[in-house]
Structure 1
Amino acid sequence: MTPTERPAGIVVVLAFAGITASLMQTLVVPLLGDLPRLLDTSASNATWVVTATLLAGSVATTVIGRLGDLYGKRRMLLVCSVPLVAGSVVCALAGSLVTMIVGRALQGIGMGIVPLGISALRDLLPPERLGSAIALISSSLGIGGALGLPLAAVVAENSSWRALFWGAAVLSAVVALLVWLLVPPTSPGAVGKFDFVGAGILGVGLICLLLAVSKGADWGWTSGTTLGLGAAAVVVLPAWGCWELRTRYPLVDMRVTARPQVLVTNIASIALGLSMYAQALILPQLLQLPGSTGHGLDQSMLEMGLWMAPAGIVMMLLSPVGARLSDARGPKVTLVVGSLVLALGYGSSVVLLGSPWTVMLVSAVCAMGVGLAYGAMPALIMAGVPETDTAAANSFNTLMRSIGTSVSAAMVGVVLSQMTVERGGVLVPSEGAFRTGMLIGCGLALVAAAVAAAIPVRSARRTSDHGVAAAERSAASVS
Structure 2
Amino acid sequence: MRMIGPLVGFLVLVEVTSGILQGYYTPLLTDIARHLNIDDGDVNWFESAQLMLSALAVPILAKLGDIYGHKRILLISTVLTAAASWGVAFAPGFWTFLAAWSLQGFYVVWLPMEIALIFSRVRRAPNRAVLTRRAAGLLVGALEFGVIAGALLGGILVEQLPLWLTLCVPAAAVTLCIFAVYFGVPESAALDGGTVDRTGFVLLAAGLLLLTSGLTFLRINGPGTWWVWAVLAAGAAAFLPFVRYELRRKDPLVDFRMLRSPSMWPVQLTAGLFGISVLGAQAPMSTFARTDPALHGYGLGLAASQVSIIIGTYVFAMLAGALLFPVAARRTTPRNTLVGASLLVGIGYGLFLPFHDTLPQALMNMLVAGLGSGALVAALPSAAAAAAPLNRTGMATGLTNTTKTIGGSFASAVFGIALAGAAADALSGGAGGGGTAAPLPGYLTVWAVCSVTAFIAAVALLLVPRLAFADPPLAAEEAAA
Instruction: Output one character per residue of 1:391-436: Cα deviation in whole Å (capped at 9) or x when no partner.
Output: 0111012111111121112222122112234599622112333233
Asked if the contact 2:80/2:103 (under 8 Å) is kept, the reply is yes
1:380 aligns with 2:355: no
Aligned to 1:84: 81
Instruction: Output one character per residue of 1:344-390: Cα deviation in whole Å (capped at 9) or x when no partner.
Output: 21122245433334323322211101122233222332232111010
Aligned to 1:285: 287
Distance in 1 of aligned mates of 2:380 and 2:153: 28
1:116 aligns with 2:118: no
1:68 aligns with 2:70: no
Asked if the contact 1:383/1:468 (under 8 Å) is kept, the reply is no
1:433 aligns with 2:442: yes
Superposition deviation, residue 227 in structure 1:
2.2
Summarize the alignment of residues 144-159 of structure 1 with structure 2, pairs less than 5 Å apart.
Answer: 144-145=146-147, 148-159=150-161
**Bigger shift: residues 53-62 or 219-228:** 219-228
Q: CA RMSD in A?
A: 2.7
Aligned to 1:391: 394
Distance in 2 of aligned mates of 1:221 and 1:419: 14
Aligned to 2:455: 446
Summarize the alignment of residues 233-244 of structure 1 with structure 2, pairs less than 5 Å apart.
Answer: 233-244=235-246
1:427 aligned counterpart, secondary structure: coil
Distance in 1 of aligned mates of 2:220 and 2:144: 27
Aligned to 1:319: 322
1:287 aligned counterpart, secondary structure: helix
CA 265–362 in structure 1, closer or farther in 2 if over 3 Å, else same? same
Q: Choose which of 99, 104, 113 in structure 2 pairs with 1:102.
A: 99
1:340 aligns with 2:346: no
**Bigger shift: residues 31-40 or 383-392:** 31-40
Asked if the contact 1:379/1:468 (under 8 Å) is kept, the reply is no
Superposition deviation, residue 212 in structure 1:
1.0
Distance in 2 of aligned mates of 1:432 and 1:140: 36
Superposition deviation, residue 470 in structure 1:
7.3
Residues matched between the structures, number: 464
For residue 463 of structure 1, what is the amino acid of its counterpart? F
Aligned to 2:37: 40
For residue 39 of structure 1, what is the amino acid of its counterpart? L
Instruction: Output one character per residue of 1:120-140: Cα deviation in whole Å (capped at 9) or x when no partner.
Output: 111224525222112333566
Superposition deviation, residue 243 in structure 1:
1.9
Superposition deviation, residue 36 in structure 1:
4.4
Aligned to 1:135: 137
Distance in 2 of aligned mates of 1:85 and 1:434: 37
1:261 aligns with 2:263: yes
Instruction: Output one character per residue of 1:303-359: Cα deviation in whole Å (capped at 9) or x when no partner.
Output: 322431132222223323211222233221011100111122112224543333432
2:437 aligned counterpart, secondary structure: strand
Superposition deviation, residue 166 in structure 1:
0.9
Asked if the contact 1:132/1:319 (under 8 Å) is kept, the reply is no
Asked if the contact 2:108/2:401 (under 8 Å) is kept, the reply is no
Superposition deviation, residue 471 in structure 1:
7.0
CA 165–390 in structure 1, closer or farther in 2 if over 3 Å, else same? same
Gap runs ≥5 in structure 1: 473-479
Query: Quick one: percent identity of the two aligned structures?
Result: 22
For residue 317 of structure 1, what is the amino acid of its counterpart? A
CA 148–414 in structure 1, closer or farther in 2 if over 3 Å, else same? farther
Asked if the contact 2:70/2:113 (under 8 Å) is kept, the reply is yes
Superposition deviation, residue 161 in structure 1:
3.1
TM-score relative to the length of structure 2: 0.88
CA 399–138 in structure 1, closer or farther in 2 if over 3 Å, else same? farther
Gap runs ≥5 in structure 2: 477-481
CA 414–117 in structure 1, closer or farther in 2 if over 3 Å, else same? same
Aligned to 1:9: 6
Q: Choose which of 363, 367, 384 in structure 2 pairs with 1:364.
A: 367
Distance in 2 of aligned mates of 1:469 and 1:442: 36
Aligned to 1:455: 464
Asked if the contact 2:320/2:374 (under 8 Å) is kept, the reply is no
Aligned to 2:195: 193
CA 282–40 in structure 1, closer or farther in 2 if over 3 Å, else same? closer
Instruction: Output one character per residue of 1:244-273: Cα deviation in whole Å (capped at 9) or x when no partner.
Output: 122343112221122222112212222222
Asked if the contact 1:353/1:359 (under 8 Å) is kept, the reply is yes
CA 299–167 in structure 1, closer or farther in 2 if over 3 Å, else same? farther
Distance in 2 of aligned mates of 1:168 and 1:130: 28
Distance in 1 of aligned mates of 2:51 and 2:405: 8
CA 382–147 in structure 1, closer or farther in 2 if over 3 Å, else same? same
1:132 aligned counterpart, secondary structure: helix
Asked if the contact 2:271/2:400 (under 8 Å) is kept, the reply is yes
Summarize the alignment of residues 50-65 of structure 1 with structure 2, pairs less than 5 Å apart.
Answer: 50-65=47-62
Instruction: Output one character per residue of 1:215-250: Cα deviation in whole Å (capped at 9) or x when no partner.
Output: 312123242442232122122122221221223431
CA 152–221 in structure 1, closer or farther in 2 if over 3 Å, else same? farther
